[in-house]
Amino acid sequence: MDREILLMQPKAGKWENLGIRSPDGLLTMAALPKSEGYNIKILDLRLEKDWKSALVKHLDNNPLLVATSCMTGIQIKYALEASKFVKQHDKKIPVIWGGIHPTFMPEQTLENENVDIVVIDEGDLTFIDVIKTLEAGKPLNEVLGIAYKDETGKIHRNPPRPLIKDLDLLPDLPYELIDINKYYG
């Protein structure tokens, strides 16, 4: 539980000119692990002038994993760039993608050499399951709601995780992980 779990928000291109919203998707992913005592860090690459230097500081801490969220469109370019940077720093760090694009295109997303695991659909329960599985050094074949590459590069898609019936049972978003003053309303 001491190793850092890094969640990174990729750049979004010209959309950033409209203002930068808080990374609510990452905060949603962080809520359950944070409530269970995991060392969650959020790095918003949209706010960093030199995002590579900021990312290296986290990667030097030997994180358990690096996860990102990605929409279809230009954000894929930036998420791939950041994922490649992680793997160039240390190939052993698992890179996990969630969000709408990997949900709709999990196998295509995993065809990229810099993506190891894709969370499909709701990630709240799936992400904590992935964290605990990686932390224990267990195989990913029993984690519902993911697709992943095994050590040979073969892509596997596990059965889906049932949707959460009562979202009120989930912890509140951990806004303390970000500086909310850096975002617009």
Q: What is the per-residue pLDDT across 76-108, written as a single tens digit (0 to 9) for each?
A: 999 999 999 999 999 999 999 999 999 999 999
Q: Is the pLDDT of residue 15 over 90?
A: no
Confidence of residue 17 (pLDDT cuts 50, 70, 90): low
Q: Helix (H, G, I), strand (E, B), or coil: what is residue 15?
A: helix
Per-residue CA distances from 172 to 27, 120, 153, 167, 168 (Å): 9, 22, 37, 10, 9
Mean of the per-residue pLDDT values of the chain: 94
pLDDT of residue 185: 54
- DSSP label of 159: P
pLDDT of residue 12: 82
Q: Helix (H, G, I), strand (E, B), or coil: what is residue 100?
A: helix
Burial 149-158 (b: 16+ CB within 10 A, else e): beeeeeeeeb
Question: Backbone phi, then psi, for 126, in 5-degree steps?
Answer: -65, -45
What would the two tokens of residue 36 be? 């269970």
What would the two tokens of residue 103 be? 């949900």
Confidence of residue 18 (pLDDT cuts 50, 70, 90): low
First to last CA, the chain: 33
Q: Is the pLDDT of residue 126 over 70?
A: yes
Greater confidence (18 vs 132) lies with 132
Confidence of residue 2 (pLDDT cuts 50, 70, 90): confident
pLDDT of residue 9: 95
pLDDT of residue 77: 95
Work out the burial of residue 95: count CB atoms within 10 Å of its CB; fewer than 13 is exposed, 13-18 middle, 19 or more buried: buried
Q: How far apart, in whole angstroms, are the C-alpha atoms of residue 140 and residue 138? A: 7
pLDDT of residue 16: 64
